[in-house]
Structure 1
Amino acid sequence: MERRRGEALESAILEAAWDELSERGYANLTVDSVARRAGTSKPVLYRRWADKQKLVEAAVVRRNVIQQSPPADTGSLRGDLIATLTELAERRGPFLAQLSLLLAGFFAEADTSYADLRELILAGRRSGRDEIMDRAIARGEIDPARLTPRIASLPFDLLRGEAMMTKRPVPPEVIEEIVDTIFLPLVRAR
């Protein structure tokens, strides 16, 4: 077996941590189980991450960065939101519900939140949501004075909440209701 180093080793460890988290949840994940699964030793993990929390945090951030795709650009705010929310619902919706359960112990132990984790995932990069809103402002579809950070996140938060509450894919009619009935009336330029 070839000895892995650098990025190849780190990638194997983070993939193993993600798999352990997905199968066991945070509470039952151990540094030993991740090391075994990655085919390495605990000291190798501890040289890179101070503890289980930091290891899981790195695995979640890596997985989310890998899975990010650019937001839809249909030429309209409504089209961009519906296309982007639909893709998120189809690709990641059911997993969002599962992830909240798997990470419950992490959030309690680390005294952190989804918002904190989201900031780590973005790491100073602009989010797809920000791109969608900026394009809509440039096209004159949104009154920037009406677009607060909370309102900008509203369609995405509602999609996440729906996925977590129902543990099912979010249907197209719910996405359209989120966009047409709730979000657009709040931000449209008058």
Structure 2
Amino acid sequence: MTGEAKTRRRGAALETAILDATWDELDASGYAGLTIENVAARARTGKQVIYRRWASRPDLVLAALRYRYSSIADDVPDTGSLRGDVLAVLRYMARRFGEFGPDLVHGLMAEAQELDPGTFEVIPDAMSAILRRAADRGEVAPGAVTPRLARMPTDLVRHEMLLTDRPVPDEALAEIVDDLFLPLVHARSHTTSRI
């Protein structure tokens, strides 16, 4: 045998190579063109190695997203007001949509049924934390905001981004918060505090 023996990558080094290869493949082929076979070839590993770590293409892409970008769960906005916090979450969503692009977002949404349902709880969990702080500050009555109402601003932003293929402008984010969300929250808080 001539030359150096090939060292086999394991653990973090292998995972990093696979996640980097996933980004390179997304860049080259887009979400629709990304295949596990091509990622494996770029990472110089076997596709079985990838499938042992991630069950599906959307799982792999989501892992690459988490590898490349921080999550709002790591730093839930705390501006000191409910309005400011909710706007910060919506701005985060709009910025991320711009960073990821419609191809990636649409691709993941089309295959969302293959992802762990907990994947979609990050933003609602952030909104719950924001609403708890708002209740502690006396901005809303504790328990006044239902889970559906808490999701409403982010659902509206997601809906608009998916339909327009563009990040939602800041004026529209403010309109969602000021004209829709906060009036409903204050009405429910008023009703809850009288009961």
Question: How far apart, CA to CA, are the structure 2 residues paired with 1:145 and 1:28?
Answer: 45
Greater mean alpha carbon deviation, residues 22-31 or residues 82-91: 22-31
Q: How many residues align?
A: 180
Query: Residue 185 and residue 178 in structure 1: after superposition, are their counterparts in 2 closer, same or farther (change >3 A)?
Result: same
Question: How far apart, CA to CA, are the structure 2 residues paired with 1:83 and 1:58?
Answer: 28
1:30 Cα deviation from its structure 2 partner: 2.4
Amino acid at match of 2:40: A
Amino acid at match of 1:59: V
User: Is the CA contact (8 Å cut-off) linking 2:97 and 2:105 kept in structure 1?
Assistant: no
Query: Residue 62 and residue 141 in structure 1: after superposition, are their counterparts in 2 closer, same or farther (change >3 A)?
Result: farther
Question: How far apart, CA to CA, are the structure 2 residues paired with 1:26 and 1:88?
Answer: 19
1:139 Cα deviation from its structure 2 partner: 1.3
1:96 Cα deviation from its structure 2 partner: 6.1
Greater mean alpha carbon deviation, residues 60-69 or residues 135-144: 60-69
For residue 159 of structure 1, the aligned residue among 119, 140, 157 is 157
Question: How far apart, CA to CA, are the structure 1 residues paired with 2:116 and 2:51?
Answer: 21
1:116-127 equivalences in 2 (<5 Å): 117=116, 119-120=118-119, 127=125
* Residue aligning to 1:60: 62
Question: How far apart, CA to CA, are the structure 1 residues paired with 2:32 and 2:96?
Answer: 26
* Residue aligning to 1:29: 34
Please, which runs of 5 or more residues in structure 2 have no aligned partner? 1-5, 191-195
Amino acid at match of 2:47: K
* Residue aligning to 2:95: 90
Cα RMSD (Å): 3.0
Aligned structure 1 segments of 4 or more residues deviating by more than 4 angstroms: none
> Whose RCO is larger (CA < 8 A, sep 6+)?
1
User: Is the CA contact (8 Å cut-off) linking 1:94 and 1:167 kept in structure 2?
Assistant: no
User: Is the CA contact (8 Å cut-off) linking 1:94 and 1:164 kept in structure 2?
Assistant: no
The answer to whether structure 1 residue 71 and structure 2 residue 73 are counterparts is no
* Residue aligning to 1:7: 12
User: Is the CA contact (8 Å cut-off) linking 1:137 and 1:143 kept in structure 2?
Assistant: yes
* Residue aligning to 2:180: 182
Greater mean alpha carbon deviation, residues 57-66 or residues 4-13: 57-66
1:19 Cα deviation from its structure 2 partner: 4.2
For residue 104 of structure 2, the aligned residue among 99, 102, 111 is 99
Structure 1, residues 27-83: CA drift from partner, whole Å, max 9, x if none? 53322101011122223224434x5x2x53143145247421412211110011112
Amino acid at match of 2:70: Q
Question: How far apart, CA to CA, are the structure 2 residues paired with 1:120 and 1:86?
Answer: 20
Report percent identity of matched pairs: 43
Please, which runs of 5 or more residues in structure 1 have no aligned partner? none
SS in 1 for 2:33: coil
Greater mean alpha carbon deviation, residues 95-104 or residues 177-186: 95-104
SS in 2 for 1:67: coil
Query: Residue 6 and residue 37 in structure 1: after superposition, are their counterparts in 2 closer, same or farther (change >3 A)?
Result: same
The answer to whether structure 1 residue 20 and structure 2 residue 25 are counterparts is yes
Query: Residue 19 and residue 83 in structure 1: after superposition, are their counterparts in 2 closer, same or farther (change >3 A)?
Result: same
Question: How far apart, CA to CA, are the structure 1 residues paired with 2:101 and 2:78?
Answer: 24
Question: How far apart, CA to CA, are the structure 1 residues paired with 2:153 and 2:124?
Answer: 17
